[in-house]
Amino acid sequence: MTQYDVCVLGSFMKDLVARAERRPLPGETLHGTGFAEFLGGKGVNQAIAASRMGARTAIVGTIGDDRYGEEFLELLKTDGVDTDWVVRHPELGTGVGLPLVLPDGSNSIIIVSRANSAITVADVEAASPVLTSSAVLSVQLELPVEASRAALRLASAAGVTTILTPAPAGPVDSSLAAFVDVLVPNEVEAAALTGLDCNDSQVPVIARRLADEWNLRGCVITLGPRGAYVLDRVAGVELRVPAHAVATVDTVGAGDAFCGSLAASLATGTTLADAVRLANAAGALSTTMNGAATSCPDRSAALALLDS
């Protein structure tokens, strides 16, 4: 019997967001047009997204023994996310992210992991009760690969559906593939994994290659304003899910809103294609608000956009 619908192993990042008309040139000091602080990190974003979509959700990760850490615990508690398996590091501070957001909503982000980098395999193994009693485990690559591998291995052995977001983009440890059911890269990450340009004609080729190389049940490539592409090997389905037309102000966290929603839907037994349709709506809505975790929509709002 599952205790949780979704468990997320992931990062905690306090986002210090600057806005500017453009990116600065090397050596240039550029006046910004705005500044704000938000709570984020891929783990936190996905956990809150899953919870707001109605999933019983827990999170596993490491924060600092500082003010930012307290803010995260308060936020997660407010959103109904179980934090019993969050470790507080006595010396390293909570992770920080430094996004730069341009007028069109696009962004570039520098992250400083701090306490996130201190999570150990022992910490993950101590969280085995929640990792193995959830319907779905969602993992990203902002934590040490040893911790991610341990969590995926434990969950996979217990029959938990495992989702990996291979972000940030870059080389991925091939040993993770044996424990992943559904891979969810964006177009940059998909290109980094395959060496292929993720244009419209190549997207199906990339999805099939990743599914074959990783022996996946499913591969979902998120394409931003071009929607998403779904390959479900179990159901024998391949299709493109179109994007939603929304007033985008900030794309930070949109991919995490998508993945958290996807995990929540898969936990209920929804097909991968239908889960992607709802996740696509959730990701679109998240871009209409500033911030990352705070911009995740609830299930009713995502369903309303999908129905419209």
Q: Would you name the residues annotated as active-site residues?
A: 256
Instruction: Give the closest residue to 129 by CA, choosing from 162, 161, 151.
Output: 151
CB 12 within 8 A of CB 43: yes
Residues 137 and 133: their CA atoms lie apart, in Å, by 10
List C-alpha distances in Å: 231 to 3, 194, 265, 281: 29, 16, 16, 18
Find all residues with CB under 8 Å of 56, minimum gap 6, and list them.
Answer: 3, 4, 5, 6
CA distance 146 to 57: 23
Looking at residue 134, the DSSP 8-state letter turns out to be E
- Residues 215, 210: Cα–Cα separation, whole Å: 8
Phi, psi dihedral angles at 222 (to 5 degrees): -85, 135
Using CA of residue 186, residue 153, residue 296, residue 56, what is the dihedral sign?
positive
The beta-strand segments (E) located in the chain are 4-9, 13-19, 34-40, 57-64, 82-89, 95-101, 107-112, 134-139, 161-164, 182-183, 218-222, 228-232, 237-241
- 95 CB-side CA count, 13 A: 25
Residues whose CB falls within 8 Å of the CB of residue 40, separated by 6 or more in sequence, listed in order: 13, 14, 15, 97, 252, 253, 291, 292, 293
